[in-house]
Amino acid sequence: MRNFSLGLFIGALAVTLIFYLVFPSDDSVNEQQAHALDKNLLARNLREQGELSPVTTELTKLQRAYIDADSIKMADDRSRHQEAALRKWATENGNNAAEWVNANRGGTVRSDALVLIAECWALSDPLAAGEWFLENTSGHTQEAALWEVVEEWAKVDAKKSLEFAMNIKGSLQNSVIAAAAPGLTNFDLDLALDTGLNLAEKGNVDFLVAAVSEWSKGNPSEAFEWTKSLPEKSLKSLIATYIGDNWGKSNPESASNYFQSLTSRDDLVGAARFGLSLGWAENDPASALTWVIENISDDRMRMQSIRSIVPTWIETDPMGASSWLVAQDSSNSMDQVFISAAEELFATAPMAARKCIAMVADDDLRNKVLADYEEDIQLLHESE
């Protein structure tokens, strides 16, 4: 201990002498430069004495890269650099990154960073990552972080991931265990379905929904046929919606042909067709809406699809939605589309909303919606 203290004393003395020899009373040298010189010399002295390993030096660089990104002025650039630096840091040493962020960050910055660390740490040591987040976090942060750990773990070792999730106590298990379903489904479909059915009997349907949804990405018609065997009606409809959604994202024409070929028009098929419209609309809302208008005869299901697609389209692509709307003819089949658009546009573009109402073909319906619109406009003016 005395040798180490003596070494530090000699190192500090060397720093002081060098500082005054190289920068003799030069006012242009600022305190930051002197501090940097002192740190570099001290780090070199410590390395020579074996007190600072090369690994620690590298981690210091990774930590510094993350911290230095705070000074980037442009928000997008700052966020991108911080994420890249944190990913590298967490991949190299997840425990070090998690401990530092947990102690030195707060609020949503801390929560988002810890969730990202969980994802990266799980790639190298998912058990250690899971145990750390169980012990050191709580609430939404804990739930989101453990989800990332279990999900990444299940991609390489689905059974151990499931075992870890099963051992989580309390309601947190119900929130996290479904993260293992996609990985287990791809590893052992029968085991995934059996696990999902057992959990569903205990009141947790999330695992089964996630497992069948994953299955449907590769074989949607087989997954749909299997879903028919489930005893519980609402669960069947929920899973059918996910199957239709996945199929609508990947191959909407194939999904449309399959569901159109079915002679049955029960609730299960209706739920799948609703899911199909949503999945299709993510990539091609115009074609999805046209399909809904032309192929869904059930008024309730058609309205549900329209009211799900139109507002999202206007919010995410207002120019594209507007161009499509103005190109449509006034007809009874389009009435709910124009009404849904008017409701979405009312708060931000009331004149555009009025034009949509004017396109409603049914006179009684148009007059009713217009009266409601005028009343809402009056209330809006009175509140200003």
pLDDT above 70 covers what percent of the chain? 83
Q: What angle do CA 222, 155, 219 make, to 5 degrees?
A: 10
Percent of the chain exceeding pLDDT 90 equals 70
Can you tell me the distance from the alpha carbon of 274 to that of 305, in angstroms, rounded to the nearest whole number?
6
| Euclidean distance between CA atoms 27 and 133, whole angstroms | 49
Q: Taking the model in full, what pTM does it have?
A: 0.76
* Assigned token pair, 60: 């210091």
Q: In Å, what is the CA distance from 149 to each residue of 120, 170, 202, 349, 350?
A: 9, 18, 24, 44, 47
Type of residue found at 53: S
Alpha carbons 228 and 224: distance in angstroms, whole number? 7
pLDDT in tens, 139-182: 999 999 999 999 999 999 999 999 999 999 999 999 999 999 99
What are the tokens at 64? 């510094």
Cβ burial, residue 136 (10 Å; 0-12/13-18/19+): middle
More confident residue, 62 or 305: 305
What are the extents of the domains in the chain?
81-172
What DSSP line would sit under 193-262, residue for residue?
HHHHHHHHHTT--HHHHHHHHHHHHH-HHHHHHHHTT-S-HHHHHHHHHHHHHHHHHH-HHHHHHHHHH-
291-298 CB contacts, 8 Å cutoff, 24+ apart: 291/252, 291/256, 293/333, 293/334, 293/337, 294/333, 295/256, 295/260, 298/265, 298/270
79-113 pLDDT, tens digit each = 999 999 999 999 999 999 999 999 999 999 999 99
What confidence tens digit (pLDDT) does each residue in 319-378 have? 999 999 999 999 999 999 999 999 999 988 989 999 999 999 999 999 999 998 888 877
Cα torsion through 60, 65, 66, 69, rounded to 10: 150
- 380 — pLDDT class (breaks 50, 70, 90): low
The secondary element (H helix, E strand) that includes residue 99 is: helix 94-104
Tell me the C-alpha distance between 47 and 37, whole Å: 15
* pLDDT band per the 50, 70, 90 thresholds, residue 383: low
112-123 confidence digits (pLDDT tens): 999 999 999 999
What is residue 349's three-state secondary structure?
coil
In this structure, of 57-61, 65-69, 235-239, the range with the lowest mean pLDDT score is: 57-61
How many other C-beta atoms lie within 10 A of the C-beta of residue 330? 13
SS3 category, 23: coil
Distance between CA atoms of residues 148 and 154, nearest Å: 10
